[in-house]
């Protein structure tokens, strides 16, 4: 779904651009992506008695890997008279921004449900503190009026979100919101969305993305989905099914029936496909591709031995995977259209878990060619492999950030499984979270968060968590049952 924020969008008498198309009933399906929507910017209010033009304000939240700093600052284009907000988290002193997400008025309880989703999203990001209604200066501010900024300021609130949810004459849902900077008393952002009522949750995620991006300068990640392995039953007889859900745990749907074991699902960055390894009883494990929209499944390649650890290329046209041959495993690339197979490594070791750089020029993978699992980076044609991990223990499951700046990994040392990141040259290694068993990191499309699974000792099972690149924010991701091997979708709205 493409979101337009053009200030030149022409208005028709109904308030909807004549050329616009909106979310359709198909968008209620968990597999609907990149559907058209209509989004119209709302003009900021003109301040009485002030000749100062509206200045669009953006506070930039930027991770600095070396110093573990997050900095929120107003862009340099602001007038000097306007206040500058800076939040510094050096030494772990980061304080989430107090923000009031007021109840969206209109349309019965739907406005309040939209409000709850937005507030929950912002809270889970770790960078915002949606305050309790007891701290509201106004319980439900009028949408077409300016908030009482002095009162909000006295309550320690830095930003206010107001909104309204109504239906137009055709029965479509119309959701409007405004984001206000309390310190300057100015509207930072305002948009309206037209959609089928069944898509209200999706609209709440898109509003959340807009608020998050306007204040942090980082693309949002709320209008996304996660595929994972759903696990039920005793530990030694687990039923494993692929499941898909919204990033906040809502709208769970099962993609496979559980008649065979499935592991390591991986989203295609370009289309509605999932690559994963599946094993039926008595058969070799094989990499398969599942089309989420049609349910069609097919094996990738025709090999006599086990294939595993699939990963799509950045353009979605080919897959990297490991092929076991005797006691060794080597990496291959298979074109999904021509079925052309290219061997990339040829060693007497176990090479596995490959992942492309975002530009497709390099591949990171794990190998025990040096005697223990470590991380290596090579060119996309398999040449010039160089080791990049040199810390204590062994390293596995590398995955390149969509921003290209970091590689995430699992490290095993002293009986602990840790999730960490390092630069592509191996420098700047940092552990984000550690414990008894943490595995399978996967990046959010904005490169700011990782989702992984954690399993406690004993008869329990895995649970999903997300952690940001500073390691300061860690949040559970709800699932209906035990869960493992998560993978994050691209942004559904293309942001």
Take residue 105 and report the two structure tokens written for it: 């008025």
pLDDT confidence of residue 41: 59
pLDDT confidence of residue 63: 30
What whole-number distance in Å separates Cα of residue 420 and Cα of residue 484? 18
Domain 25-216 fold is Rossmann fold (3.40.50)
pLDDT confidence of residue 35: 40
Maximal C-alpha separation, the chain: 80
pLDDT digits (tens, 9 = 90+) for 372-400: 999 999 999 999 999 999 999 999 999 99
Q: Where are the domains of the chain?
A: 25-216, 225-488
pLDDT confidence of residue 249: 97
pLDDT digits (tens, 9 = 90+) for 281-316: 778 899 999 999 899 999 998 888 899 999 999 999
pLDDT confidence of residue 494: 75
Low-confidence ranges of the chain (pLDDT < 70): 1-93, 495
Q: How many CA atoms lie within 13 A of 80 on its CB side?
A: 0
Burial class (CB in 10 A: 0-12, 13-18, 19+), 234: exposed
Strand partners, 467: 450, 474
DSSP annotation of 199 reads: G
**The overall pTM is greater than 0.95:** no
What whole-number distance in Å separates Cα of residue 76 and Cα of residue 66? 24
Angle of the 200-216 helix axis to the 110-125 helix axis, nearest 10: 40
Q: Does domain 225-488 have CATH number 2.60.40.10?
A: no
Take residue 361 and report the two structure tokens written for it: 């020029």
pLDDT confidence of residue 11: 27
pLDDT confidence of residue 93: 55
């Amino acid at each position: 779904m493409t979101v337009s924020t053009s200030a030149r969008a022409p208005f028709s008498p109904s308030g909807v651009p004549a050329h616009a198309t909106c979310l359709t009933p198909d968008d209620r399906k968990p597999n609907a992506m990149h559907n058209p929507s209509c989004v119209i910017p709302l003009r900021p209010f003109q301040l009485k008695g002030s000749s100062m033009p509206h200045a669009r304000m953006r506070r930039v939240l930027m991770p600095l890997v070396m110093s573990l700093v997050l900095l929120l600052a107003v862009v340099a284009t602001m007038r000097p008279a306007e206040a500058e907000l800076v939040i510094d988290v050096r030494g772990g002193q980061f304080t989430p921004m107090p923000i009031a997400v007021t109840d969206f008025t209109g349309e019965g309880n739907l406005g309040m449900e939209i409000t709850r989703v937005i507030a929950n999203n912002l809270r889970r990001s770790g960078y915002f503190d949606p305050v309790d209604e007891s701290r509201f200066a106004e319980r439900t501010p009028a949408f077409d009026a300016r908030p009482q900024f002095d009162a909000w300021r006295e309550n320690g609130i830095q930003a206010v979100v107001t909104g309204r949810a109504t239906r137009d004459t055709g029965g479509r849902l119309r959701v409007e919101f405004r984001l206000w900077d309390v310190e300057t008393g100015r509207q930072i952002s305002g948009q309206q969305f037209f959609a089928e009522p069944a898509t209200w949750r999706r609209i709440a995620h898109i509003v959340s993305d807009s608020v998050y991006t306007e204040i942090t300068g980082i693309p949002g990640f709320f209008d996304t989905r996660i595929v994972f392995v759903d696990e039920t039953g005793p530990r030694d007889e687990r039923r494993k099914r692929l499941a898909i859900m919204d990033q906040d745990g809502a709208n769970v749907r099962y993609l496979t029936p559980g008649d065979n074991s499935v592991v390591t699902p991986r989203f295609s960055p370009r289309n509605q496909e999932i690559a994963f390894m599946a094993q039926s009883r008595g058969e070799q494990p094989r990499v398969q591709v599942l089309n989420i929209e049609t349910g069609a499944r097919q094996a990738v390649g025709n090999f006599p031995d086990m294939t595993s650890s699939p990963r799509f290329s950045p353009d979605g046209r080919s897959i990297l995977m490991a092929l076991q041959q005797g006691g060794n495993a080597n990496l291959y690339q298979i074109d999904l259209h021509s079925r052309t197979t290219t061997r990339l490594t040829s060693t007497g070791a176990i090479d596995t878990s490959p992942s492309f750089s975002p530009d497709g020029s390099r591949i990171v993978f794990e190998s025990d060619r040096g005697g223990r699992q470590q991380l290596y980076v090579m060119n996309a044609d398999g040449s010039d492999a160089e080791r990049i991990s040199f810390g204590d223990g062994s390293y596995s499951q590398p995955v390149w950030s969509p921003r290209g700046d970091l590689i995430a990994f699992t490290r095993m040392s002293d009986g602990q499984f840790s999730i960490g990141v390092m630069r592509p040259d191996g420098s700047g290694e940092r552990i984000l979270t550690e414990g008894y068993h943490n595995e399978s990191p996967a990046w959010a499309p904005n490169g700011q968060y990782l989702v992984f699974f954690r399993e406690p000792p004993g008869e329990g099972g895995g649970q999903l968590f997300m952690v940001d690149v500073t390691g300061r924010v860690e949040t559970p991701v709800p699932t209906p049952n035990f869960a493992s091997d998560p993978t994050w979708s691209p942004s559904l709205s293309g942001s």
